[in-house]
Structure 1
Amino acid sequence: MTRGVAERQLQIPRRPQKVCLCPFLPVHPLNVSTYLYIIQHPAEENRVLRTVPLLAACLPKDKCQVKIGRRFNEDRDPELSAICRNSSTLILYPGEEAANLEELAPNLPNCPSNIIIIDGTWSQAKDIFYKNSLFRLPKQVQLKTSISSQYVIRTQPTNRCLSTLECAAIALSIVEKNDDIQEILLRPLQALCSFQLQHGAQIHHSKEHLLKNGLYNKPLPKNKRKLRKMELLLNNVKI
């Protein structure tokens, strides 16, 4: 193991040697010009099988910063406020007003850009995005890709949902114009899922898949809003 990998392994949860993820990290942090800012919901920090530590271990320290919290403003985080007001900053969050990053990328300036990604469940991410006015200042973008998530050890709402690491991997490969970035960043995630499945974990299909195939065995929610969301999933309506 090289010194660089040994130092970066401290960023990921300790694991037994036979399931160590260090061999799947790049020998040196990826040389990227883009700065990632991960806005992490506090509940995500305590999850064992999270993807942000893997992402951070693959990138230079100054290129992947994690900010934990639910509410942000200029007084609490002037640095984040300045980033949100920077014209070269993008926030990755899907919606009707979001531009497709794949289509926007050719027109992006060559100077280093900032990408903000919210890390949490979809309901947590939605709460953070809509209840923090700072996050409506940057250009909003989304991924056009239709690939399915490889993060199969955690249930996603729909077949189109991706983990934070996967979103970052695709976004970086687009703005950096380097497909190798996506492949390199996904290696530790693929290894993590493989190890977990080998040791008894089950593949988690999306809630959309379970509903459409009659495999959802939990009681239906009584809350009308949650029930409506499940109906939209069943009818393949984007939510």
Structure 2
Amino acid sequence: MEEEAAGSGENLASHTISESEAATEEDSCQGLWELPVECSVRRRECDRCGRPQKVCLCPFLPVHPLRVSTCLYIIQHPAEESRVLRTVPLLAACLPEDKCKVLIGRRFSEDRYPELASVCRNPNTLILYPGAGAANLEDVDLSSPDPCIIVIIDGTWSQAKDIFFKNSLFRIPKQVQLRTSLSSQYVIRTQPTNACLSTLECAAVALAIMEKNDCIKEIILRPLQALCSFQLQHGAQIHHSKEHLLKNGLYDKPMPKNKRKLRRMELLVNNVKI
């Protein structure tokens, strides 16, 4: 009983001290509680381009959505959805709603995505993903009378690789890649190599090939050019590719300790396709 009483006394003492400290802290913060609180107001965004209205890019979008027969399915990694300077909303704003469908996620099973499964099994569906087994899109037979579908994965290269290899649905369509000399105009974001293109740029080149109309590429690239120009005028810096930085001795970050990542950088410097 005495031990219990002693224990209770210690607890009471510590409790009293805590209350005293709390009172002192409350007194010291009294002035803070009286400061006016400003309500944060979210900037209004344009319904079409998704940009804040003060920097709306609609003047650089086509007046009417482009008339195309090819349908795009954009498979977007969830991390891309929260990026401020993403390109998929600009791409979608250039096309009819039924010609540009965006699915967000990492894993796509046939049970949960029956429509996507049907699309991937369609013989006229192509998936734009470079690799040893990919055919050049320019060389693919496009004589089918039925509309073609192109699946494009939107994310960083490591994210795209993860989505491609961990979803068996994406290995059903014919795999294609772009053979183009176009250098990325998305200069406000770092790319792995000089030949890497943003999702919007890939879609622009692919649609121009599929529709046999180079004007489509120019129209879709226009809002991206305007976006980058605006950002550069307001303090953004041009981001060279990792390949460019490594080859010119300008890469100022610590080299990775991970052997696999270090090997990838060596391949970039030696012009080996990765």
1:113 corresponds to which of 148, 151, 155: 148
**Deviation per CA, 1:126-146, whole angstroms, max 9, x where unpaired?**
000011100000010000102
Contact 1:89 1:115 in 2 (8 A): yes
Q: Is structure 2 residue 50 aligned with structure 1 residue 13? A: yes
Q: C-alpha distance in 2, partners of 1:162/1:108? A: 27
TM-score normalised by the chain length of structure 2: 0.82
Question: How far apart are 1:16 and its partner, in Å?
Answer: 4.4
Q: C-alpha distance in 1, partners of 2:148/2:142? A: 12
Q: Is structure 2 residue 93 aligned with structure 1 residue 54? A: no
Q: Is structure 2 residue 184 aligned with structure 1 residue 149? A: yes
What amino acid is aligned across from residue 12 of structure 1 in structure 2? C
2:201 corresponds to which of 166, 182, 207: 166
Q: C-alpha distance in 2, partners of 1:92/1:53? A: 19
2:262 corresponds to which of 220, 227, 235: 227
Q: C-alpha distance in 2, partners of 1:9/1:116? A: 27
Contact 1:100 1:142 in 2 (8 A): yes
Q: Is structure 2 residue 119 aligned with structure 1 residue 83? A: yes
What amino acid is aligned across from residue 64 of structure 2 in structure 1? H
Unpaired runs of at least 5, structure 1:
1-7
Q: C-alpha distance in 2, partners of 1:223/1:75? A: 37
Question: Which residue is equivalent to 1:132?
Answer: 167
Contact 1:169 1:181 in 2 (8 A): yes
Unpaired runs of at least 5, structure 2:
1-44
Question: Which residue is equivalent to 1:101?
Answer: 137
What amino acid is aligned across from residue 83 of structure 1 in structure 2? V
Q: What RMSD, in angstroms, separates the aligned Cα atoms of the two structures?
A: 1.2
Question: Which residue is equivalent to 1:5?
Answer: none
2:226 corresponds to which of 181, 188, 191: 191
Q: C-alpha distance in 2, partners of 1:151/1:159? A: 11
The percentage of aligned residue pairs carrying the same residue is: 78
Q: C-alpha distance in 1, partners of 2:122/2:50? A: 33
Question: Which residue is equivalent to 2:32?
Answer: none
Distance change (3 Å), C-alpha of 1:9 and 1:34: farther
Q: C-alpha distance in 2, partners of 1:201/1:126? A: 29
What amino acid is aligned across from residue 49 of structure 2 in structure 1? I
Q: C-alpha distance in 1, partners of 2:135/2:100? A: 23
Which has the larger Rg? 2
Contact 1:9 1:57 in 2 (8 A): no
TM-score normalised by the chain length of structure 1: 0.94
Question: How far apart are 1:15 and its partner, in Å?
Answer: 2.3
Question: Which residue is equivalent to 1:73?
Answer: 109
Distance change (3 Å), C-alpha of 1:29 and 1:9: farther
Question: Which residue is equivalent to 2:241?
Answer: 206
Contact 2:46 2:52 in 1 (8 A): no
